[in-house]
Amino acid sequence: MSYADFYQQSIQQPEAFWDREASLIDWHKPYTKVLDASRPPFAKWFVDGETNLCYNAVDRWLATQADKPALIAISTETNSEKTYSFADLHREVQRMAASMSALGVKQGDRVLIYMPMVAEAAFAMLACARIGAVHSVVFGGFASKSLATRIDDAKPVLIISADAGMRGGKAVPYKPLLDEAINLAEFKPAKVLIINRGLEAMKLVAGRDVDYASLRALHLDAQVPVTWLESNAMSYVLYTSGTTGKPKGVQRDVGGYAVALASSMKQIFCGNPGETYFATSDIGWVVGHSYIVYGPLIAGMATIMYEGTPIRPDAGIWWSIVEKYKVTRMFSAPTAIRVLKKHPAELMKNYDLSSLKALYLAGEPLDETTSSWISNELGVPIIDNYWQTETGWPIMSVARGVENTATRLGSPGIAMYGYNISIINEANGLECAPNEKGVVAIKGPLPPGCMQTVYGDDQRFVQTYWSNFAHDQLYSTFDWGIKDADGYYFILGRTDDVINVAGHRLGTREIEESISSHAQVSEVAVVGVEDKLKGQVAVAFVILRNPDLATTADSKRALEVEVMAVVDKQLGAVARPSRVHFVTMLPKTRSGKLLRRSIQAICEGRDAGDLTTIEDPTSLQQIMAALAQ
Ligand code: AMP
């Protein structure tokens, strides 16, 4: 079948299409209805069907490949490497599941996972899936305030964490940040399960904190049956940034997600049982959920969990892993490739990369220089794919499992099956002509695997995503884009206040709120500014309560460091602005709305745009003067 026919069927006859794809996973009880779209924009997939993500990822491979590698945990930070076969993984997941149950976790309970890239993090996710608990993984780079907000929203009965992670040869403590987050949060989890890696001394809170090694030892032979879940039961909540300062809990189902992953592993990532998949992301992001933990395992592949940077001990490390484990499909982000590009390419040539069939890149725009460079170096197809935490799997790419569609430089590809994409003119709500810029929208119902709702807030789901255009049944991605005459899309940045730093999605409002908590800060604007390496970086403009505090270069620098430290402590270094400038006025409209796009344009050396509504044009001169210093 051609991809065009495959795609058309997914749009014209979604039930027949997804009924076929659903046979890629194992069902305990068949569904009675493929799609229930009777209450738009909410969509229910595979109604009444019963399945389990852990069963599909682990148990179902025991009969055919129990002794084949399932999880390969590599840390170049602690110099450790361990391969777990599917049988080993099955055992470890049951030990973790039994430990969680012993701590009182029941079906439907939330379990927050705040962990470095260690095997136990995957055991914990799969154990939740096994017993029907809902995991919420929080990226390890986030600090106590970010964590506290998520604790208050998810209300986890249990938090699973570790003493520390390691990055660049230094221990990165987790436990003290977690303790502080629990202090800050209104909701208090009953139990905290700690994986002690022996990296950092820590204090355990009596009655609350439990050491995993001791608890696991009590459950070595645990046999924990799979809890069969209705397809639309909740599998996990993953928080992501938006326009407001309050992160949204993206809630996902069980059956639809399993089908979307099994299908995308076959049609887009072309993975086969027995092969090895290496995604370099982190379990704290959606790529980690879909394509480090669940996707490859559901496809019967071995998956690599990597703790470390791409350049330690040297920039050949990832390629040495590809050689050693015969990785067939690799998934990374453009920033990582730009980092590697700064190092000698000979490091790559030292390794036998003949197993590698393709490199997939996502998370941020892939520039043509980076794409051409890595394509030449590796000699394999580079496949850009565009998607979001909300969708869980690619919206745009090429599905080489269906047809060998050509890629186009600068484009993340064509519409993936199941996604009925429209580029909408923001002003009149109508579909744009080819090559006309508009908002990337998707006609509902969304395909399987996409978010069910915002956790605990259906209204926010409807208002945020489905109320942006005159046409009700359109989901907004909040990205600008164009489609060319051949159906290839180009993504042109976010329409909202979300920025993308090294592929990490951050809300400028969250960063502003954090900076505002500094006693000397009266007002602040944070914008995303183009950066050659990271795609974008956050830049802050601050009005001080007492402007006399920042008059000299030294005093400005000292305050800049203080403001950065506030963000580090509250949100994590990942959200730290690259520069903090001091001004006495911010560009605003006469009605008081911050002119963020104008500030951003000036920072990027572009024209400030339409300024007819600006209250005081000298505010822009201040921005320019601050940048010139
Ligand atoms: P996240 O939810 O963290 O995965 O971030 C999703 C956002 O990252 C999208 O809305 C886009 O703005 C951006 N993004 C993801 N993948 C791509 C891509 N391949 N090309 C351009 N932008 C991308």
Cα 627 to averaged position of ligand 1 atoms, centre (Å)? 28
**What's residue 347's pLDDT?**
85
Residue spans of the domains in the chain: they are 3-38+56-415, 420-493, 506-628
**What's residue 390's pLDDT?**
98
Residue 167, pLDDT > 70, answer yes
> Ligand 1, atom 3: nearest CA belongs to which residue?
505
Nearest ligand 1 atom, CA 385: 19
CB 72 within 8 A of CB 80: no
**What's residue 242's pLDDT?**
80
The stretch 156-169 carries a mean pLDDT of 97
Cα 387 to averaged position of ligand 1 atoms, centre (Å)? 6
**What's residue 320's pLDDT?**
97
Mutation test residue for ligand 1: of 268, 364, 419, 468, the one with most atoms within 8 Å of CB: 364
Q: What is the largest CA-CA distance in the chain?
A: 72
Band (472; pLDDT cuts 50, 70, 90): low
Q: Which CATH architecture has domain 420-493?
A: Roll (2.30)
Residue pLDDT, tens place only, 379-432: 999 999 999 999 999 999 999 999 999 999 999 999 999 999 999 999 889 999
> Ligand 1, atom 10: nearest CA belongs to which residue?
388
Residue 53, pLDDT > 80, answer yes
CATH of 506-628, one of 3.40.50.1470, 3.40.50.300, 3.30.70.270, 3.30.300.30: 3.30.300.30
Residues in the chain, how many? 629
Nearest ligand 1 atom, CA 361: 19
Neighbours of 432 (CB within 10 A): 18
What is the residue whose two structure tokens read 């119902």?
Answer: 445
The stretch 275-300 carries a mean pLDDT of 98
The stretch 62-91 carries a mean pLDDT of 98
* pTM of the entire predicted model: 0.96
Calpha distance 454→451 (Å, rounded): 8
Residue 443, pLDDT > 90, answer yes
Residue pLDDT, tens place only, 124-153: 999 999 999 999 999 999 999 999 999 999
Measured CA distances, 323 to 328, 330, 338, 497 (Å) = 10, 12, 21, 41
Nearest ligand 1 atom, CA 478: 10
Tokens of 350: 């030292």
CB 268 within 8 A of CB 400: yes
CB 470 within 8 A of CB 425: no
**What's residue 148's pLDDT?**
97
Cα 479 to averaged position of ligand 1 atoms, centre (Å)? 8
Cα 619 to averaged position of ligand 1 atoms, centre (Å)? 32
Angle at CA 367, nearest 5°, toward 365 and 368? 145
Mutation test residue for ligand 1: of 287, 450, 479, the one with most atoms within 8 Å of CB: 479
Nearest ligand 1 atom, CA 384: 19
**What's residue 245's pLDDT?**
74
Give the pocket of ligand 1 (CB within 6 Å). 240, 286, 362-366, 384-389, 412, 477, 479, 491, 494, 500, 505
Nearest ligand 1 atom, CA 285: 3
% residues pLDDT > 70 (the chain) = 100
Residue 470, pLDDT > 90, answer no
**What's residue 544's pLDDT?**
96
Band (346; pLDDT cuts 50, 70, 90): confident
Helix (H), strand (E) at residue 67: none
Helix ranges restricted to H, 159-293: 175-184, 212-217, 255-267, 286-288
Residue pLDDT, tens place only, 357-377: 999 999 999 999 999 999 999
Cis peptide before 577 (omega within 30 of 0): no
Calpha distance 206→430 (Å, rounded): 60
Paired strand residues for 423: 440
What is the residue whose two structure tokens read 């055919």?
Answer: 64
Residue 24, pLDDT > 70, answer yes
**What's residue 518's pLDDT?**
96
Q: Which CATH architecture has domain 3-38+56-415?
A: 3-Layer(aba) Sandwich (3.40)
% residues pLDDT > 90 (the chain) = 94
